[in-house]
Chain A
């Protein structure tokens, strides 16, 4: 079994959309767009999520933005329209 220290060192990408959060372990170097495609189904992420944040900062080009695997990525959910 891996030591606790080694497991703590493993990279953990936090992916957020609306109320939901998923963690991806050691997913390697991927772009934000690749992450979106990877989790779109399980997190209900559509093309409507135009605003993307990495570590709470908006980014412009998800297809070009490389992640190293230990960031927090948020696909900003649109406001509920109905009331």
Chain B
């Protein structure tokens, strides 16, 4: 069993430290001690506004070097690559718990579609706009969907209009960033960790999606079955 984080930007870089703490000290038999960090992008000084890192280098490598001395009980690996069709089967395996904190729907679809081919998998996906965001939970157990895939009722993921960062050149990647708020990234990160803690406790899902809006202060869980 492994925990995999795909995307170490505004959300992912703020998940990794508390997640490592949870994995280290959790008594749950579901808490994997192997943590895989995946991101093909690199930190730049301008990212310090929202993203947590020590050195300007590849995001996965940088976070690994930061966390290893803090959490020696964990086996932490870095994969300095973007997830794409050629490597998804290598990076996401049976039994994984996947935190998906990317900035494009193309990767969300890729991961959701790949997860649908596995028997046992947990995907917790989070994303935000400037003031609001949401978290989706997709779990399969023994080949059965416990919750709905990320693409269900989300045509923006089913037919993404954006592109996987692996397909973008350096200039396009640099342009891809747009204004975000650290507090909103934190909110997504916190809701993703909440969901993971519920999973560690083996609780039944009372929601498979949760929305928040910091302008109204609202947070709303949602569970819609395929029936």
Contact = CB atoms under 8 A, between A and B. Distances in A.
A53 B154 CA distance: 12
A83 B216 contact: no
A62 to B, nearest CB: 15
Nearest to B100: A83
Nearest to B130: A82
B12 interface: yes
A81 B216 contact: no
Contacts of B155: 50-51
A53 B224 contact: yes
Interface stretch (A3-11, A23-31, A32-40, A72-80): A72-80
Contacts of A21: 218, 220
A79 B105 contact: yes
B180 A82 contact: yes
B220 A79 contact: no
A56 B209 CA distance: 14
- Report whether over half of chain A's contact residues are helix, strand or loop; otherwise say mixed: loop
Interface residues on B, range: 35 or more
B150 to A, nearest CB: 8
A80 B128 contact: yes
A81 B98 CA distance: 17
Nearest to B221: A19
Contacts of A82: 10, 103, 127-129, 178, 180
B40 interface: no
Q: Which of A21, A50, A80, A81 has the most CB of B within 10 A?
A: A80
B212 interface: yes
B149 interface: no
A27 B69 CA distance: 61
Contact of A80 (B7, B12, B129, B150): B129
Contact of A19 (B101, B132, B136): B132
Contact of A79 (B10, B136, B213): B136
Interface of B: 7, 9-12, 101-105, 108, 125-129, 132-134, 136, 150, 153-157, 162, 178, 180, 185, 188, 211-213, 216, 218-220, 224-225
Given A50-B155, A81-B104, 9 more contacts: A19-B220, A76-B154, A77-B134, A79-B134, A81-B105, A82-B128, A82-B129, A83-B102, A83-B188
